A = this chain, B = another copy of it.
Amino acid sequence: MALDFQYDELMFSKSTVKNSYAGDVVYGYEFEIMYPSYRGTFLSCIEKLTVKLDGVEIDQKKMRFTLNGKQFLISELPTLCHEYWFVLDRAVITVLQDGGIPAGAKQIDVEMVHRIPYTGYFGEYLTLTSHGTLQVDNHVTEAIK
């Protein structure tokens, strides 16, 4: 009964969308997510992580996941058995997109499938699917240069 493990509201805690700058060039946009649980996890427990912008799924190869000062490809997450995601730490998801967040963009949806690694009671591990939604607004924060 996965109804008893529900912290999805934590995923987007105080998060905003920012454009990503290198010098004066905008090469993408980024936002923060938290791990939706009462405890931290290892990135190897993330089985799937998808992002939709206004309903359209972002190419996984255009996404980067940054945590603990390191940047990962989404495809690498399952291999990161020593990368701990502390429950108060924010991971940054960057979407590589020339010019940044498209004008008029409204909503970002994240879906994360994650294994709960200690739930080996009587068999398989519990795997949850968490959802989070972020309204883009027009409050796109600018980077410090």
B82 contacts A80, C-beta separation under 8 Å: yes
Name the B residues within 8 Å of A80 (CB-CB): 82
**A81 CB–B CB distance under 8 Å:** yes
B79 contacts A81, C-beta separation under 8 Å: yes
Name the B residues within 8 Å of A70 (CB-CB): 82
On chain A, the number of residues with a Cβ less than 8 Å from chain B's Cβ atoms is 8
Copy number of this protein in the oligomer? 2
**A137 CB–B CB distance under 8 Å:** no
Name the B residues within 8 Å of A82 (CB-CB): 70, 72, 76, 80, 82-83
Q: Mark interface residues in A65-84 (1 if CB within 8 Å of B CB, else 0).
A: 00000101000100111110
* Residue ranges of A at the interface with B (Cβ–Cβ < 8 Å): 70, 72, 76, 79-83
Q: Which 5 A-B pairs have the closest CB atoms?
A: A70-B82, A80-B82, A82-B83, A72-B82, A79-B81
